[in-house]
Chain A
């Protein structure tokens, strides 16, 4: 039954409907794959028993004719989503053993549509990282290998590395992710799958462990654009429990996959041609432009002049918010506590032991930029630049319907590379961070392989609330790229 793990979600829904197999069988096949793939360390917690129970209930619902849009589909859930009765850690030691008594809105919606949870996927600690090497629960290993280097372990990207690796390796049919500065799009690119970060406010943040509240947004991973469209529809919608979630109708995103972009204009931002960009990325981008033309659409060069400030802006705002969001992990109410003689020591030792280096680094940066005397120079300045970046995009969208860029400036790299140089690591997000700052929908689609045989993705960035255009363009690139490569 191994072939069940190669199906797309759309195919599986069809097979379930035709009673070719049951959700239990589908789930068991994925549990088998998950167990075999343990060396990838894609999961922090596997929940096979829960999955089988959910699958059986799903089969009963289907038998009684009341199936949801994701009825019986086994998924991975990034361990940043709080799941009732299942440990939720954000990949941090400080939350070890924390079992929420509540279900995040996104997972609740997925389960309400019939989804099955196979486990909680690994990530960078508190979603801070671009390589999934900051997890307290160990690195996630990409299922991909460089040609001729079977022993070199590569990163899956981050922060949603476990979700991306699991989807890529066929351990789950789809997965949730969160994207603060690229945490869905970059790992999707590294792992040769599709992933979308919708417009900020499309999905509720309620029950997602917060990293940077003004940037965090839930999204999806799957092996096809259409599967992402199916998943995102189930996850989206206004939530009165999240003041920043938008009162917007959720369209059937699959209907946007018309394959037709004739007459549309796709913007090519000239500032994304950064110095030192690898030739292969440049080539892939040009290939994407050619595909757009062959599909009957135009491309036009647009300017996003403040792009060069985006990373710096992001690395002020995100740590500032994180430094405050992570203050609640104080050892008082949940998670680990290091007992001490007095309160101050308890705080210091608990947080010293509970947080990893990257999290500490960002808490310190964030605390610094909010401090008296620095607030105006850093935080306020960053907010001003953020507004200019938003304006750049709005100006560009007067001339085009969506933007096409590379997703990341490189393919996956080996674990340990870039590790000693945080700035170099931060550069991974150079193409994804601007859309995050502007709250725009962005999607990565696999478009080709580099010389080492590693996947590279192209990114489509849309207007606010226009995920439909993003899906439409992504669908066209997907069909023209014919990316059928899978990890060995």
Chain B
């Protein structure tokens, strides 16, 4: 996962720019009133406009525009008050109009930037070139009939945001971090569900290699990279392929390549010469999109706290490590859960429990935080029981396991099972006296200098109290008795 590739002639730097297509969360399509739900029966969510019947006209869906603005603001980008929809012309059966309505020279969102977090703890800024709105195509199905293809237009006309990055990304790790961060931001904003398996988020990766400090090399665009892992694999494969060609005296052809996840390789799809001439021109069926500053300001006011802001707040106000804060903010629901647990309680303890115990167990059970059988309120209750010495940390783990299976509140579990910690020093002293009386040999050995036997006495006391004795009190009293 190196940022550079060790070639025969030295180190090569990998230069990456990404185009992410994110399906906009909205009830209706970009230019028609048809529904957008995933997984519906083929061709059941298709309006006359989506099927490009003669005489049909697009009407812009305001909700999709709002989502694009919201996303632009979340990417710290400039919102262009004047943008233009253009037609991108090409023939394909799942593109009923024979053109895709997109934005070309005048996108709705201009330059922006986001931060990505790297494994070594460093933070890197990646530039956003633009974001534009466009229609999705339908889906061609080629494997239902030996000679025919079928077309499902449910997706035809759904709104997509294409988010284009600057070529600021170096290597597979950064690419993965970038993609994950964009997905996190979109999910926080509620503008895209980021579900790559269902295709609601897709990435095209532009890859080139160069000797450090040299000008950019010729790039290849790799398509069909549909998971964070695939992005890393495709970059690793493609960068090595390019280095080998160059080092063998060849040169890279600018082309579009396809990632084949089964064969773990990229292969040529079309060369620059075969590239389409899309004949973009402003769509005469639509007026230029003019936004009022007032509306942009209103949307800005409704933006949620974004991942980076949240992370810094967690570090500053809760005193968490950057790593722990990073884990907690990865999902908005997770961060909210943590904050409920930590409210008026020991935040570091809360973070430990959420990250190490809860997330671990959820993961093992294949559940997300929203499906957790332990509510945030109950986990908070458990933290309180630990903090006020009602139970020890060790007992708390047993209580937690019980909470996870039964969903019960920690207080009632402690009550039912009599797990309350014994802090009555008289009782503890009595038990200690018994232990001392029962083990005269070990007492004399300890007093003779075998310090390590101290643990033995603690163990014996805990055994007699079924682990409920307050460990600090046990230590104190034992030491007093044995050291005198």
Contacts and interface: CB of A to CB of B under 8 A. Distances in A.
Interface of A: 81-82, 88, 90, 95, 98, 100-102, 104, 205-210, 212-214, 240-244, 320-321, 323-324, 326-328, 330, 332-334, 343, 347, 367, 370-372, 375, 379
13 contacts: A82-B55, A88-B54, A95-B54, A206-B57, A210-B285, A214-B284, A241-B57, A243-B285, A244-B284, A323-B89, A324-B279, A328-B52, A332-B93
B98 interface: yes
A90 B55 CA distance: 11
Contacts of B279: 323-324, 367, 370-372, 375
Contacts of A328: 52, 54, 96-98
A100 B53 contact: yes
Interface string B329-352: 000000000000000000000000
B56 A327 contact: no
Chain B: interface secondary structure? loop
A324 B53 contact: no
Contacts of B280: 370
Contacts of A88: 54
A334 B55 contact: no
A213 B285 contact: yes
B281 interface: yes
Interface string B274-307: 0001011100111100000000000000000000
Contact of A243 (B52, B277, B281, B286): B286
A95 to B, nearest CB: 7
Nearest to B87: A324
A244 B285 contact: yes
Interface in B72-124: 87, 89, 91, 93, 96-99
B285 A100 contact: no
Given A210-B285, A347-B91, A375-B279, 18 more contacts: A88-B54, A102-B48, A205-B55, A206-B57, A241-B59, A242-B57, A243-B285, A323-B89, A323-B279, A324-B87, A327-B89, A327-B98, A327-B99, A332-B93, A343-B149, A370-B281, A371-B279, A375-B281
Nearest to B98: A327
Contacts of B89: 323-324, 327, 370
A330 B91 contact: yes
A332 B151 contact: yes
B96 A333 contact: yes
A369 B55 CA distance: 24
Contact of B98 (A209, A330, A372): A330
A332 B87 contact: no
A206 B60 contact: no
Given A324-B87, A327-B98, A328-B98, A371 B54 contact: no
Nearest to A239: B57
B59 A243 contact: yes
B24 to A, nearest CB: 19
B137 to A, nearest CB: 13
Contacts of B431: none
Nearest to B147: A341
B40 to A, nearest CB: 19
A354 to B, nearest CB: 13
B32 to A, nearest CB: 10
A342 to B, nearest CB: 10
Given A244-B287, A330-B98, A209 B54 contact: yes
Contacts of A347: 91
Contacts of B48: 101-102
Contacts of B96: 328, 332-333
B98 A320 contact: no
B376 interface: no
A323 B278 CA distance: 12
B51 interface: yes
A81 B277 CA distance: 32
B281 A209 contact: no
Interface of B: 48, 51-60, 87, 89, 91, 93, 96-99, 149, 151, 277, 279-281, 284-287
A324 B97 CA distance: 8
Nearest to B58: A243
A375 B105 CA distance: 13
Q: Which of B51, B57, B58, B286 has the most CB of A within 10 A?
A: B57
A321 B98 contact: no
A372 B280 CA distance: 9
B399 to A, nearest CB: 61
A431 to B, nearest CB: 24
Given A102-B53, A370-B281, A371-B279, A240 B59 contact: yes
A243 B287 contact: yes
Nearest to A334: B53
B55 A208 contact: yes
Contacts of B53: 82, 100, 102, 333-334
Given A324-B89, A327-B97, A330-B98, A207 B59 contact: no
A244 B283 CA distance: 11
Contacts of A209: 54-55
Nearest to A351: B91
A439 to B, nearest CB: 12
B103 to A, nearest CB: 15
Nearest to A208: B55
A273 B87 CA distance: 39
B225 to A, nearest CB: 26
Contacts of A242: 57, 59
Contacts of A102: 48, 53
A90 B53 CA distance: 13
Given A327-B97, A327-B98, A343-B93, A98 B281 contact: no
A177 to B, nearest CB: 15
Closest 8 CB pairs of A and B: A327-B98, A370-B279, A213-B284, A214-B284, A207-B55, A328-B52, A209-B54, A82-B55
Contact of A104 (B55, B59, B93, B149): B55
A375 B98 CA distance: 19
Contacts of A320: 281
Given A213-B284, A328-B98, A367-B279, A243 B60 contact: yes
A210 B91 contact: no
Nearest to B54: A209
Given A370-B279, A375-B281, A333 B54 contact: no
A333 B281 contact: no
A321 B86 CA distance: 12
Contacts of B151: 332
Contacts of B285: 210, 213, 243-244
B52 A205 contact: no
A324 to B, nearest CB: 5
A341 to B, nearest CB: 9
A371 B277 contact: yes
A164 to B, nearest CB: 22
A333 B51 contact: yes
Nearest to A341: B147
Nearest to B93: A332
B346 to A, nearest CB: 58
Nearest to B90: A327
A320 B87 CA distance: 11
A243 B290 CA distance: 13
